[in-house]
Structure 1
Amino acid sequence: MDAKDWLLLRILEEDSTQELSEVADLTDLTEAEVEDRVSAMEDDRIIRGYCASIDWEKAGEGVAAATVNLKVTPERDFGYDRIAERIARFPQVSSLRLISGEYDFEIRVTGRNIQDITRFVSEQIAPMEQIRETGTILVMKSYKENGRILYDRKEGERLLFSF
């Protein structure tokens, strides 16, 4: 992957709905080159898909979120992979990461309310044989998700800066 591919990926990650001509201008590539590179990265599964960033509160639907940290017992011959694959299949799990430190996994869980999340963790995650401990942290408010700022600033409003 060269520098232009890296830049192309960053641009698409920021906003994959941009016109091909805009992306070409930003990368100093032709539209055909952008199209070919994107197609090749989709074929190679570097680009896994495209998604919308949704403000569920503005959409009129409440959504609750939590980070759940897990201590697990790795499986012989499979390590963490099989338990991760099992957890990843739940639609309530929006992200799953193997982490270092006190816990082994960090999962991001969403539900319609806090009760949905607590029920999911206590009835689906905690009873799994490999799960030794869970630690749930409720998300009170999100300011940035997947590289996108979630709050609106008024036109011309500047952030304060001081030393």
Structure 2
Amino acid sequence: MKVERDKQRELLHILEENSRRSAETIATMLDTTVEDVRETITKLEKEKVIIKYPAIVNWEKVDADDLVTAMIDVKVTPKREVGFDDIAERIYRFPEVQSVYLMSGAYDLSVVIEGKTMRQVAQFVSEKLSALDSVISTTTHFILKKYKHDGVILEQPEDDKRMVVTP
């Protein structure tokens, strides 16, 4: 690896903030060569450290069918020798499921799903998720509005352009 470990971490932060930056720009930011940046990125992609380069879309500004997003708290009974991994894998294989997280606290798994309607989400919970033998209980929370997603503020408030008048 040509880029030292501290610079590699900095490179990952740069890509996480804006993955569209050119190798030339990143090389300048890290005070290294373009070739070193490209080699390091290729290596990190092969090692699955860099998994994907997503765009963040504010879907509320797009004329499209709105999807309903829900966060579901799930209590489960872990299985001997595999713990929570087996049930988490069964859950994340459903196409509606966007994310699954192992949590500490009052529930075990946090599941994020998307559906076309609240009814479709409710059917997923009652017919698929709750039907799994390890699932003890679920609590569903519907997302009403997103203000910030993956570290990005979706709508910045506009500055008040009125002139201040004092008596």
TM-score by length of 1: 0.88
Question: Within the alignment, does 1:2 sit opposite 2:5 as a pair?
Answer: yes
TM-score by length of 2: 0.86
Report the secondary structure of 1:57's partner residue.
helix
Give the Cα–Cα distance (whole angstroms) in 2 for the partners of residues 112 and 29 of structure 1: 47
Report the secondary structure of 1:68's partner residue.
strand
Decide which of 3, 13, 25 is 2:28's aligned counterpart.
25
Larger Rg: 2
Decide which of 76, 83, 98 is 2:102's aligned counterpart.
98
Please tell me whether the aligned partners of residues 57 and 63 of structure 1 are also in contact (alpha carbons under 8 angstroms): no
Q: How much does 1:36 deviate?
A: 0.8
What code does the residue aligned with 2:102 have? L
For this pair of structures, how many residues does the alignment match? 156
Report the secondary structure of 1:133's partner residue.
strand
Please tell me whether the aligned partners of residues 14 and 148 of structure 1 are also in contact (alpha carbons under 8 angstroms): no
Residue equivalent to 1:161: none
Please tell me whether the aligned partners of residues 142 and 150 of structure 1 are also in contact (alpha carbons under 8 angstroms): yes
Cα RMSD, aligned residues only: 1.7
Residue equivalent to 1:141: 145
Please tell me whether the aligned partners of residues 71 and 131 of structure 1 are also in contact (alpha carbons under 8 angstroms): yes
Structure 1 residues without counterparts, runs of 5 or longer? 159-163
Structure 2 CA distance for partners of 1:112 and 1:25, relative to 1, 3 Å: farther
Structure 2 residues without counterparts, runs of 5 or longer? 161-167
What code does the residue aligned with 2:130 have? A
Give the Cα–Cα distance (whole angstroms) in 2 for the partners of residues 29 and 96 of structure 1: 37
Report the secondary structure of 1:108's partner residue.
strand
